[in-house]
Amino acid sequence: MTLPFSVRTRDGAARRGTLVTRHGAVETPAFMTVGTRATVTGLDPVDLGEVGSQVLLGNTYHLMLRPGVETFERVGGIHAFMHWDGPVLTDSGGFQIFSLSADRTLSERGARFRSYVDGRMEMLSPERSIELQSAIGSDIMMVLDVCPDSHASEEEVRAAMERTHRWALRSLAARTNAEQALFAIVQGGIVPELREQSAAFLTQHDFDGFALGGLAVGDTRSEREAITAFAAELLPDDKPRYLMGVGTPVDLLVAMRAGVDLFDCMLPTHLAWQGTAFTSTGRVKITRGAYATSDESLDAACPCRTCKGFTRSYLHHLFRCKEPLGTRLLSLHNLTHYNALMKEARAAIESGTYDDFSRAKQHAIDRHEHAARPFEQDA
């Protein structure tokens, strides 16, 4: 197996495991830090180690356009290029192509789209995606998939799923480096029967892990949680399960309860740049006038450099002045918050207290995250 993975402890469906990559072990459940263009905006690799990041996620679509595959071939891959010595997962670019609906054409061959860098037309096929990810040198590659809107017609979702299956097999056949793991992506929108068909097809083949894609693209929270719980049970017990692009701390708590092992989302850094922090008592919008005279720390329960060294009023001041330090400090905090949550979740699974832990965490922060609380229905 290219990516050794073991589940050490279970608490209900929640799993505590370890997967081993060429660049180190990853303790799961784990949140993967999004570094789309071989960088986490405003942070360097030393910062990523400080906040507890285990895995960096890069995006093939963006990296193929800039700096281009030639750069990775010249320098020996993404690890040397950005001086990151931990594991890297690369997304195939399927979601970005989905988001370019007005400026791309899909065919059985692949996706033809216009480069936002120089305006040239580009073709991304399953084979080309694997070629690019191989040159980038990621530890975990993703197959190229078709990601429809969750509320597209069932006919459209089925067609996208079936093409995803064909592309997955082409991606598997195109892999040339046995040391690079390859994950398949289960599609099917919010239709349980399609998710079941997708999982049944893909799990017949020798992929190193399985992802749930096509969520958080128009679905509601209740739809997403129901499909995640349903589909996670369909995946092999001995391979890692990855929920793509999801989500808030509450999303993670619920999905871990369903047995998901890996997550990624741009929210911790994206919202940091908008002045929003995730804290132990919910979100804090630091740009609000109420914080102009607050001498409190951002989160008294957080050990990060931001919370230990700076007040809310100072952070507010930085954002009002449009100083880059403000976004950097919030990014450091938000990633620390996410990684600390995962560490606490792993400990709770090990101690057999995950259900109580997740309920308590969710009730502390959920009023700032979402309108509904799914745990209340079975409390």
Summarize pLDDT for 303-327 with one digit per residue, the tens: 999 999 999 999 999 999 999 999 9
Predicted confidence at residue 101, as pLDDT, reads 66
Asked, for residue 377, whether it belongs to a domain, the answer is no
- Domain check: are 195 and 319 in the same one? no
Of 243, 265, 287, the one marking the end of a domain is: 265
Q: Which of 11, 91, 145, 261 is catalytic?
A: 91
Confidence category of residue 1, pLDDT binned at 50, 70, 90: low
Distance CA(109)–CA(124), nearest Å, equals: 9
- pTM check: above 0.85: yes
Catalytic position from the list 11, 145, 219, 264: 264
Contact partners, residue 327, CB within 8 Å, separation at least 6:
41, 42, 272, 273, 319
Residues 287, 231, single domain; the answer is no
State what percent of residues in the chain have pLDDT above 90: 88
Examine the domain organization and report whether 313 and 257 are in the same domain.
no
- 218 and 281 in a single domain? The answer is no
Q: Are 166 and 37 part of one and the same domain?
A: yes
Task: Tell me how many domains the chain contains.
Answer: 2
Provide the pLDDT confidence category of residue 378 given band limits of 50, 70 and 90. Answer: very low
Residue 294 and residue 155 in one domain:
no
Domain presence at residue 378 = no
The answer to the question of residue 142 being in a domain is yes
> Do residues 250 and 352 share a domain?
no
pLDDT per position as a tens digit, 157-180: 999 999 999 999 999 999 999 999
pLDDT band at 97, cuts 50/70/90?
confident
Identify whether residues 91 and 201 lie together within a single domain: yes
Q: 204 and 285: one domain?
A: no
If asked whether residues 257 and 338 sit together in one domain, one would say: no
Alpha carbon distance 111, 122 (integer Å) = 8
Domain of 356 in residue numbering reads as 274-371
Q: Do residues 42 and 65 share a domain?
A: yes
Calculate mean pLDDT across residues 350-369: 90
Query: Above 50 in pLDDT, residue 372?
Result: no
Q: Does the annotation count 91 as an active-site position? A: yes
For the stretch 248-303, pLDDT in tens is: 999 999 999 999 999 999 999 999 999 999 999 999 999 999 999 999 999 999 99
Both 253 and 281 in one domain: the answer is: no
Whether 376 shows a pLDDT value over 50: the answer reads: no
Average confidence (pLDDT) over 187-205:
98
Positions of E strands within 148-259: 181-186, 209-212, 241-243
CA angle 141, 66, 242 (to 5 degrees): 25
